[in-house]
Chain A
């Protein structure tokens, strides 16, 4: 790695670089947008640097947290990284670890997704940090995120507390020129010192730990390296703008582009919780009007505790939902400064292409078969690419990881207790099944629930960039077999088939449906590899072609929704987009007129 030479780094790569540079030796994560590339980048950096680390894709975020936390208890520097909804899964150990504290520096990276772009919620991890009573740092750029990683590790060791780093999508997935620095080798050995009064504290001692935690927080609220910075020190005004995270980066650029440097004093906050007490006093004493810009909740705003003078999310001056885009910040800042905002160009028309399953994706075939085999079913589904089965009308619910199975059982019980039975087909991906699908399956079996569960097994975590699952590519070389887990949970019907063989797969689903109506949970494993998984070699297949028998009935485009099948308004027939057709051949069985053929020799 050439040092002192700027390199293009994505925010996630920059945080990974900061972790490796600062002697972090254990990293555990579960993939989730926008945090997924942190762990894979750590892997890349440690290979280029020849560093030894334990880097793992854990089965879920709770496990990832516990793996990394134990390393900290042994005195090593450690990190766990996840997206904000992953932090919900890890919140149990998080809350408790705040009381017990750390030995080696321990950073919890929780990436938020204001927008949201690729998440169920816009929740603010800084609020979780506040609830756990843990300090949280809020970077405004990839370069700053890299700096704050080192700062968080040092802080964690100084105060013996986990420290949260909360980047947002616009930091994780921004790229910037960053100059790497040499790796610091700490040469520590794992050394767990038994202290059951602390590490296994009973409720009586937990009270004392809570009191101690509050003391630590008040010291952290005076910690100089993370104090807010005034970015225009020469400006004199009774008005101030306080911003953190990428909102500070947007504001900084808007202020200089719109000539607002002297309109108000501008502060950037790096540690939104606990907010530095001297800063709170200064803001309350020196300014008549204060505007706070932050994502996604008014965390800084509520700590300033003066609703007559402080404007922000809680006051209604700043939108409480959605991403704080730079054009929104421009309008709010101009208003605050009493200047007219420049006219925005006419907004782009809404619409465009909605996200869809890839052409040739085996999930599309599974969903089509489910609709054919169980047309009147309730279809609970889950988190992953296959959420897009909603486009085919084969996904009715998406709640959170693993919920398809819990909800399927819940739907069964709700109908049963009121004297009815409905056909229910739940879909869950393989990685999601490992993550959170096993406890609800056990519950379904022991409570006598009846439904069909289709495990969409493409042997990868596709949505987030094809990370491995416990069933394939594990470091130990051991693979956990899904059908054995299913059998171990007490399920008596478990069969596998390839959904790309549509007729066979559809009849298997019908068999499963009959079993589920009469006996209990029936599991069908839809086994077919992900097309975008580069670790699998995909044989070149002949592409589809629509012949003259096509009447333009639009059955395929409506019911199968493959992006490679396009209705042409001029010829009033369907054509195949050869740029994206994968040649899976499933549409041959979909077309009611058998007007689609496979042709050899197409590119």
Chain B
């Protein structure tokens, strides 16, 4: 069975819950068990928000430090905060303007999602730009096509939102690579 532990990190209001749930729903569509953990309430108000996502045979909703396969970061400052969750050989896909050097055995790529989302006239879609970027590294348990499919299902009947979401996702996918 596929087994993957992911963390999605950013600040309140960036749409972290949305992409964590998107990925969890894809896991279910693929017939995989899934557990996630979300941040709500006071912590959400502009503070650090982190979602844990575990696909496969797990019972705890939290990823232990040193166990994550990958880290998707929507706010570049969070890389330093949450990289200790990564296992050696893990990867980071981050929103940022330059490649931040990280010590140890991890691979990090960045995408300037703020600028791309602003250029698209859709600043709220930066989460999908970063997700698109993470997908382009082919290390996630799912593909860009599977994400597009679930977006199609979720945003059925909201053509403008759907188009914006797919454009952002594709912008993230094609602005690769810069490692």
* Chain A residues close to B by CB (< 8 Å): 6-8, 10, 33-34, 36, 117-118, 140-141, 170, 173-177, 246, 249-250, 252-254, 325-327, 330, 342, 344-349, 351-358, 385, 387-388, 463-465, 563, 578-580, 603
B residues 92-133 with Cβ under 8 Å of A?
114, 117-118, 121, 123, 126
Known: A344-B65, A349-B80. A354 touches B47 (CB 8 A): yes
Contact yes or no, A252 B60, CB < 8 A: yes
The 6 A-B pairs with the shortest beta carbon distances in the complex, nearest first, are A118-B41, A33-B41, A355-B47, A174-B61, A118-B42, A175-B36
| Chain A residue nearest to B53 in the complex (CB) | A175
**CA A354 – CA B82 in complex, angstroms?**
15
Residues of B within 8 A of A465 (CB): 40
The yes or no answer to B78 lying at the interface (CB within 8 A) is yes
Residues of A within 8 A of B42 (CB): 33, 117-118, 355, 385, 387-388, 463
Contact yes or no, A356 B46, CB < 8 A: yes
Residues of A within 8 A of B28 (CB): 6-8, 177
Contact yes or no, A8 B21, CB < 8 A: yes
Contact yes or no, A352 B21, CB < 8 A: no
**CA A175 – CA B78 in complex, angstroms?**
23
* A118 contact from B40, B75, B117, Cβ within 8 A: B40
Residues of B within 8 A of A354 (CB): 47
* B65 contact from A36, A327, A387, Cβ within 8 A: A327
Q: Is the interface of B mostly helix, strand, loop or mixed?
A: mixed
Residues of B within 8 A of A351 (CB): 81
| Chain A residue nearest to B9 in the complex (CB) | A352
Given contacts A174-B36, A174-B37, A356-B46, 20 further A-B contacts (CB under 8 A): A8-B25, A117-B41, A117-B42, A141-B59, A176-B36, A177-B28, A250-B59, A252-B60, A253-B59, A344-B65, A345-B66, A348-B80, A351-B81, A353-B11, A353-B46, A354-B47, A385-B45, A388-B42, A463-B42, A580-B13
Most buried by A among B35, B40, B60, B82: B60
Q: Please give the distance in Å from A267's CB to the nearest CB on chain B.
A: 15
Contact with A along B49-80 (1 / 0, CB 8 A): 00000000011111011100000000101101
**CA A580 – CA B41 in complex, angstroms?**
19
The yes or no answer to B43 lying at the interface (CB within 8 A) is yes
The yes or no answer to B34 lying at the interface (CB within 8 A) is yes
B residues 11-25 with Cβ under 8 Å of A?
11-13, 20-21, 24-25
**CA A351 – CA B47 in complex, angstroms?**
10
The yes or no answer to B137 lying at the interface (CB within 8 A) is no
| Chain A residue nearest to B87 in the complex (CB) | A345
Chain B interface residue bracket vs A: 35 or more
User: Can you name 9 A-B residue pairings with CB atoms under 8 Å?
Assistant: A173-B38, A249-B59, A249-B60, A249-B61, A252-B60, A344-B66, A349-B80, A356-B45, A579-B114
| Chain B residue nearest to A344 in the complex (CB) | B65
* A177 contact from B34, B40, B83, Cβ within 8 A: B34
Contact yes or no, B78 A352, CB < 8 A: yes
**CA A157 – CA B155 in complex, angstroms?**
43
The yes or no answer to B142 lying at the interface (CB within 8 A) is no
**CA A170 – CA B52 in complex, angstroms?**
11
* A603 contact from B59, B60, B123, B126, Cβ within 8 A: B123
Residues of B within 8 A of A6 (CB): 28
**CA A352 – CA B80 in complex, angstroms?**
9
Residues of A within 8 A of B34 (CB): 8, 175-177
* B47 contact from A33, A253, A325, A356, Cβ within 8 A: A356
The yes or no answer to B164 lying at the interface (CB within 8 A) is no
**CA A357 – CA B42 in complex, angstroms?**
10
Contact yes or no, A175 B43, CB < 8 A: no
Residues of B within 8 A of A342 (CB): 66
**CA A173 – CA B20 in complex, angstroms?**
12
| Chain B residue nearest to A465 in the complex (CB) | B40
Contact yes or no, B64 A327, CB < 8 A: yes
Most buried by A among B25, B39, B47, B62: B62
Residues of B within 8 A of A348 (CB): 80-84
Contact yes or no, A563 B40, CB < 8 A: no
| Chain A residue nearest to B117 in the complex (CB) | A579
Known: A249-B59, A346-B84, A579-B118. A173 touches B37 (CB 8 A): yes
* A173 contact from B27, B39, B85, Cβ within 8 A: B39
| Chain A residue nearest to B83 in the complex (CB) | A348
Residues of A within 8 A of B60 (CB): 246, 249-250, 252-254, 326
Contact yes or no, A170 B65, CB < 8 A: no
Contact yes or no, A250 B77, CB < 8 A: no
Q: Please give the distance in Å from A313's CB to the nearest CB on chain B.
A: 20
**CA A322 – CA B11 in complex, angstroms?**
23
Known: A252-B59, A330-B64. A355 touches B45 (CB 8 A): yes
**CA A24 – CA B39 in complex, angstroms?**
28
Q: Please give the distance in Å from B22's CB to the nearest CB on chain A.
A: 10
Residues of B within 8 A of A603 (CB): 118, 121, 123
Most buried by B among A327, A330, A349, A465: A327
Q: Please give the distance in Å from B178's CB to the nearest CB on chain A.
A: 21
Q: Please give the distance in Å from A443's CB to the nearest CB on chain B.
A: 28
Residues of A within 8 A of B114 (CB): 579
Q: Please give the distance in Å from A390's CB to the nearest CB on chain B.
A: 11
The yes or no answer to B161 lying at the interface (CB within 8 A) is no
**CA A578 – CA B121 in complex, angstroms?**
12
